[in-house]
Amino acid sequence: MLKLRFEVKNQFINRVDKIQPSADSQYYLYAHFNFLTDDWKGKVVTAVFTKDEKSYMMLVDIDGDCEVPHEVIKEGNFYVSVFANTLITTNNSRVYVEPSGYTEDAENSEPPTPNIYNQLSTAFGELRDDVDYKLDNIDGGLFTDWGG
């Protein structure tokens, strides 16, 4: 779990971490709000996350934490603000999200051509399996009966 950290003083929100989250994660990125002034104490606080003119609200728990909605964790900027039940509001704080390497369109790679070590290892394994089979099936007799 990764937490973005914000300080809230009166109507101003300020991001205080240096985290640069990567795009496309879900159930991993959280926000923590530290309320520095008494006007927020005892209030029900909601965080608003905005990306591309769409906003998503998340209830902030008693510890000042909430999950960041996965809809905003896309490459580029999203914005965070909070408000309280008595309509105390804040400005926006910008969060930049780095592109991720995740894609659903990736193709599976072909197995590599075996090098000499892989070829010898495979041959040795087959030889060992053959010897083990013969040793497990010895039912008496002479070496020439099964050894050759």
**Burial (CB count <10 Å: 0-12, 13-18, 19+), residue 71:** middle
Sign of CA dihedral 71, 76, 82, 83: negative
Phi, psi (degrees; rounded to nearest 5) at 90 = -125, 170
Polymer length of the chain: 148
Domains and CATH numbers, the chain: 2-97 (2.60.40)
User: Token pair for residue 82?
Assistant: 């909070």
Buried-exposed string 50-63: b where 16+ CB fall within 10 A, e elsewhere? ebeeeeeebebeee
The Cβ-side half-sphere exposure at 102, using a 13 Å CA radius, reads: 11
Rounded to whole angstroms, how far apart are CA atoms 102 and 25?
9
Looking up tokens 């995740």, which residue turns up?
102
- pTM for this predicted structure: 0.71
User: Token pair for residue 130?
Assistant: 């053959």
In tens digits, the chain (148 residues) has pLDDT values of: 899 999 999 999 999 999 999 999 999 999 999 999 999 999 999 999 999 999 999 999 999 999 999 999 999 999 999 999 878 999 999 999 999 988 877 778 777 777 887 777 787 777 777 666 665 665 555 555 555 5
